[in-house]
Amino acid sequence: MRIVFIGPPGAGKGTQCRRLSAHYTIPHLSTGEMLRKASRDTPVGRVVGAYIDNGQLAPDPLVMRIVRKRLQRNDCRRGSLFDGFPRTVIQSELLDEHLSAMGQKVDIVLDLQVKEAELVERLLARAEVEGRDDDTAETIQRRLHVFRTQTAPVLDYYAGRGLIEQIDGQRTADEVFDEICDRIDTRLRNQEPG
Ligand code: AP5
Ligand code: MG
């Protein structure tokens, strides 16, 4: 099972993916986490870090290189849970190409919806606790703009294929989790065998 999780900054992608990954025993692939790690550990790190800190997307080829490498690991044979990826239509196309070469496909796209005022509140609260460099009032606005202009079109890309499940993210994390599991389980039951 390959699940794409799309939602604006602060919608709860990471929170839900950690639980879903344990519940369905499939690996959690967060490109945000991978890029933050790359920004600390690799020679191109400073360049990557600058994109993240400015709230802009890292270049598609760089993101795809990291994702393709991660998908080669054995644990991804069972499936994968993509957190915050793909984030551009080009990434969606390249992911489809990559999966189809391996005889795989995206099975479900979760569209986690939360109003902007709530997103800003959540991220500013998280800034107090975790101190992520991109959780400043100005950068949060830039990330929201990037989501509206570059990532929302990814939903249109998948819409025609009937893959999207819209999830109301403005409830407790437990309620959101239960709803997502219901949607996934229903799709799994209705999937053709094999
Ligand atoms: P990324 O790390 O993906 O960040 P993001 O999309 O901005 O989202 P967040 O991680 O901030 O929020 P989330 O939805 O995971 O919410 P969370 O569960 O933490 O990307 C960071 C950067 O990396 C990008 O800006 C870009 O530069 C780069 N990047 C990443 N992927 C890329 C790609 N594919 N291509 C190019 N560049 C890429 O929750 C947020 C807070 O809310 C937490 O404090 C949480 O406890 C709380 N919370 C969660 N659920 C609830 C709830 N139901 N009710 C109340 N509070 C809640
Ligand atoms: Mg996250």
Q: How far apart are CA 127 and CA 142, in angstroms?
A: 16
Provide the residues around ligand 2 (an ion) whose CB is within 5 A.
13-14
- Among protein residues, the one whose CA lies closest to atom 12 of ligand 1: 10
pLDDT confidence band for 70 (50 / 70 / 90): very high
Taking CA atoms only, the protein residue closest to ligand 1 atom 44 is 126
Residues 78-107: what's their mean pLDDT? 97
Q: Give 19-76 as a DSSP string.
A: HHHHHHT--EEEHHHHHHHHHHHSTTHHHHHHHHHHT-PPPHHHHHHHHHHHHTSGGG
Per cent of the chain over pLDDT 70 is 98
Q: What is the pLDDT of residue 96?
A: 98
The ranges assigned to domains in the chain are 2-191
Paired tokens of 168: 């109301």
**Predicted pLDDT at 146:** 98
- CATH (residue range 2-191): 3.40.50.300
Residue 28 near ligand 1, beta carbon < 6 Å? no
What average pLDDT does range 70-83 have in this prediction? 96
Per-residue pLDDT of 31-50, as tens digits, reads 999 999 999 888 878 889 99
> Any bridge partners for residue 124, and if so which?
none
Give the pLDDT score at 46: 84
Find the catalytic residue in 132, 142, 171, 187.
Answer: 132
Mutate to test the pocket of ligand 1, among 4, 13, 82, 178 (most ligand atoms within 8 A of CB): 13
Structure tokens at 108: 């479900």
Could you report the per-residue pLDDT of 155-181, keeping only the tens digit for each? Answer: 999 999 999 999 999 999 999 999 999
3-state secondary structure of 18: helix
Catalytic residue among 2, 13, 36, 122: 13
Helix, strand, coil fractions of the chain, as percent rounded to 5: 60, 10, 25
Report CA 130 to chain centroid distance, whole Å.
20
- 192 confidence band (pLDDT: 50, 70, 90): low
Task: State the catalytic residue, choosing from 68, 77, 126, 161.
Answer: 126
Which residue's CA lies nearest to atom 26 of ligand 1?
A: 57
